[in-house]
Structure 1
Amino acid sequence: MNAHEKSEIKPFSVNQDYDFEIRTALGHASAGAGDPGEILAATEQVRKNDHEGWFDAWKALADRTAQIADTAAGRGHRVSAADAYLRASAYYGVAVNALSSLDDTTRLQPTFAEQRKTWDGFIAHTSADVTAIRIPYEDDALPGYWFRGASGATAPTLIAVNGSDGALAGLWASCIEAALARGYNVLAFDGPGQQSQLFEKNIPFRPDWEHVLTPVLDHVLTLDGVDPDKVAVYGISQGGYWVARALAFEHRFAAAITDPGVVDVSTSWTSHLPPSLTKLLDAGDMAKFDKEMAFGLKFSPETARTWAFRARPYGTTGYGETIQAVRTYTMADVAGQITTPLLILSPENEQFWPGQAQQLADLTSSVSTVIPFTAAEGADGHCQPMARALTAQRMFDWLDEKLAG
């Protein structure tokens, strides 16, 4: 996705995508999944479109931080090891995303393996009560992590749904750490097209997320310490679409949060197409569409890299096939079926799905609440990257009160 500079905070990079990644990484620092000084030091010399340099910067930072973690673990410093493993996993996550847009993807799986290895290092050393689990799903299982609330007693539970390219360390920073601090149990997992399912099994996304979230909820309700009347779900980035879509069919959740509201995923793709290409797409002329797209992308290498990165999880080949697949990721026609109390986060200057938070609110007006985030607060842009503590305060205060009620 191409990030647009609209925040009042001075950019950290002249490359808009790099700037957004840096902002996100800095925001993760509020939950320990980054350290601002090392992030800024590692990235400040990367030139505007030096994509190899961008990968190298994050890979080197991740490698160095992983070595710190290994050394601390070897000397019995569990807290230091957990902290460093978490940061390293988050940094490897950015490196994986950097590789996804490069022509040479041979380093992709090995780098993801390092990302998951350091995440597992964090799990092994953190003071949080966490267990790796397998969630029955169709003919296989989804990998998950079950975090128990501090009390160890029956508690409210949050199911955390990641976005299209987020690492588990990022999900920790976005909601898991804040939920645990408030006494919630949390389940995090990799769904179709996400993380291990994509890089290890080559399983693509699917639009009908109710067929994912319902078996996940079924499994959560079998776990010890779960109050079945107080299970909520949170979705970040494209997870906001997946959660909202599932809620139209799955009505057992006590409450839900989308960060932000997403109704139609495809607009972040189609809004950049010229009318002539849109006309070909609508007419079903895939051969001509693919030919003209291929020709146009020869003159726009930055767009070509973004396309490669974003298309990979859909499991498609041709340009037209990809767009047609993404067009099925809409829930406008089923949003009226949502009966779950729904909190919709709505950041000013949302760059990927502008206006869709309010659109989702309009479609679910009987059950939804909108919370705005502004540039004046330093909380604008997709998923409020520089204001995650503020985000946690607002969404968990709402959720606490909703579940108490």
Structure 2
Amino acid sequence: MTTHDTIPLFSTNPDHDFEIRTALGHAVEGAADIGEVLAATAHIGKNDHEAWFTAWNSLAERTAETAATAEAAGHRVSAAEAYLRASAYYSVAVNATSALPDSSDLVPTFRKQRASWESFVSLTAMARASHVDIPFELSSLPGYFFRPTTDLGANGVTLVAVNGSDGSLAGLWAACVAPALKRGYNVLVFDGPGQQSQLFERNIPFRPDWENILTPVYDFVSRQKGVDPARIGLYGISQGSFWVARALAFEHRYAAAITDPGLVDVSTSWVSQLPKSLMKLIDDGKNARFDTEMGIAMKLSPATARTWQFRARPYGATGYAETINAVRACTIADIASRITTPLLITDPQGEQFWPGQAEQLATLTPSVSTIVHFTEAEGANGHCQPMARSLTAQRMFDWLDDTLYSRIPAVVSSGKLGS
């Protein structure tokens, strides 16, 4: 199934094509250079997965070297820009190596990705950035709190941004953070369970109960100087949309939220690919037999095995049936009606992973939700509108501005504004 009839394919491999489109979309906020991406990926064969990793890793290495040279020469702007691109390119290499039989390069590549990001954060003049550790259960969630460099930031409006299942902070910067900062928002980003440093360095897997993550996150960000607790918004991209929607069914203090796109049941993108006879084995409790038959199927389809390895890793499960059951726990079909927070739901034409779920979420939350459609004619089709991120930011933030700025401002004398 193709969802990109208006814009020609960049690769006949649908996963590669989507990664390229996502990278090109990041260029609008400096997290990619179009020529670099297209040149690096131009001659990679459809099933040459080693070459796919090598291309992105080599591009990242070259770009990081450019950044280091610029930094050493005192060119801070050039260095920051190149470090941001390098981090975004390394993130594609991380995803690529995660699907290879030998994943020994996975953690080292991630550490280079994060090192480039850290260098960008330390050098950028686009925001005032702070490292933060958000208290969480018996540990903490590592994150970054960004404040705009303009006087617009004195209004205390703040956005908490939740990444997807495999997204990098460089990608989240392009999708959400940079557009928010331009509009005067403070922005908090962090690694939650199963994401980035939590997965690769702490071996902490996904969990569905994100009300237990986004509640302490709200508690933390609402106490930060210059933040108006009554005007904190929430944004989730890709699978982050599920975590956001799930949390909102229990945590009602966020003033507004965006799911990009709407997502109700994560498991549909998994189980829709499996025969009903196989799924019946799980439903009947025959997990061992399910695992046996899946193991045979994976040997017959190396491409499927690669995808499974990549997608299953963050769930931390040991068997095929255990993984499916973990994914099936990621649904809000029975609790979405509890959401009382004003909710913007993006709905791209040709959504390839969770088709129809934006409309489903809107139907489950009719009193609070607004759905905004994106079309192929606009070049805005496909999961998360990868080639139309400026259009996406305009529609999201115009709605968010109208929603958050309509709320009664906090009292200036409280000391939480104007700093």
Task: Give the Cα–Cα distance (whole angstroms) in 1 for the partners of residues 145 and 369 of structure 2.
Answer: 28
Shift of 1:171: 0.1
Q: Does 1:234 align with 2:232?
A: no
Moved more, 276-285 or 184-193: 276-285
Q: Does 1:163 align with 2:164?
A: yes
Correspondence 1:107-256 to 2 at 5 A: 107-127=105-125, 128-149=127-148, 150-151=150-151, 152-256=153-257
Scaled by the length of structure 1, what TM-score is found? Answer: 0.98
Residue identity in the other structure for 1:198: L
Task: Give the Cα–Cα distance (whole angstroms) in 2 for the partners of residues 268 and 161 of structure 1.
Answer: 20
Aligned to 2:23: 25
SS of 2:373's equivalent in the other structure is strand
Contact 1:65 1:87 in 2 (8 A): yes
Residue identity in the other structure for 1:297: M
Residue identity in the other structure for 1:289: F
Encode CA deviations 1:174-229: one digit per residue, 9 max, x unaligned: 00000000000000000000000000000000000000000011000110110111
Contact 1:7 1:381 in 2 (8 A): no
Contact 1:65 1:84 in 2 (8 A): yes
Task: Give the Cα–Cα distance (whole angstroms) in 2 for the partners of residues 366 and 182 of structure 1.
Answer: 27
Residue identity in the other structure for 2:109: T
Aligned to 1:402: 403
Residue identity in the other structure for 1:133: V
Task: Give the Cα–Cα distance (whole angstroms) in 1 for the partners of residues 256 and 78 of structure 2.
Answer: 36
Task: Give the Cα–Cα distance (whole angstroms) in 1 for the partners of residues 344 and 240 of structure 2.
Answer: 14
Task: Give the Cα–Cα distance (whole angstroms) in 2 for the partners of residues 395 and 283 of structure 1.
Answer: 44
Aligned to 2:101: 103
Moved more, 295-304 or 198-207: 295-304
SS of 1:123's equivalent in the other structure is helix
Percent of pairs with identical residues: 66
Task: Give the Cα–Cα distance (whole angstroms) in 1 for the partners of residues 4 and 268 of structure 2.
Answer: 19
Shift of 1:124: 0.8
Gaps of 5+ in 2: 407-419
Shift of 1:7: 3.9
Task: Give the Cα–Cα distance (whole angstroms) in 1 for the partners of residues 182 and 326 of structure 2.
Answer: 39
Task: Give the Cα–Cα distance (whole angstroms) in 1 for the partners of residues 319 and 352 of structure 2.
Answer: 26
Task: Give the Cα–Cα distance (whole angstroms) in 2 for the partners of residues 153 and 254 of structure 1.
Answer: 18
Task: Give the Cα–Cα distance (whole angstroms) in 2 for the partners of residues 68 and 206 of structure 1.
Answer: 38
Shift of 1:4: 4.5
Contact 1:100 1:108 in 2 (8 A): yes
Encode CA deviations 1:376-398: one digit per residue, 9 max, x unaligned: 10000000000000000000000
Residue identity in the other structure for 2:286: D
Q: Does 1:383 align with 2:384?
A: yes
Residue identity in the other structure for 2:293: E
Task: Give the Cα–Cα distance (whole angstroms) in 2 for the partners of residues 277 and 327 of structure 1.
Answer: 15
Residue identity in the other structure for 1:109: V
Shift of 1:284: 1.3
Encode CA deviations 1:67-90: one digit per residue, 9 max, x unaligned: 000000001101000000000000
Residue identity in the other structure for 1:371: V
Task: Give the Cα–Cα distance (whole angstroms) in 2 for the partners of residues 339 and 275 of structure 1.
Answer: 36
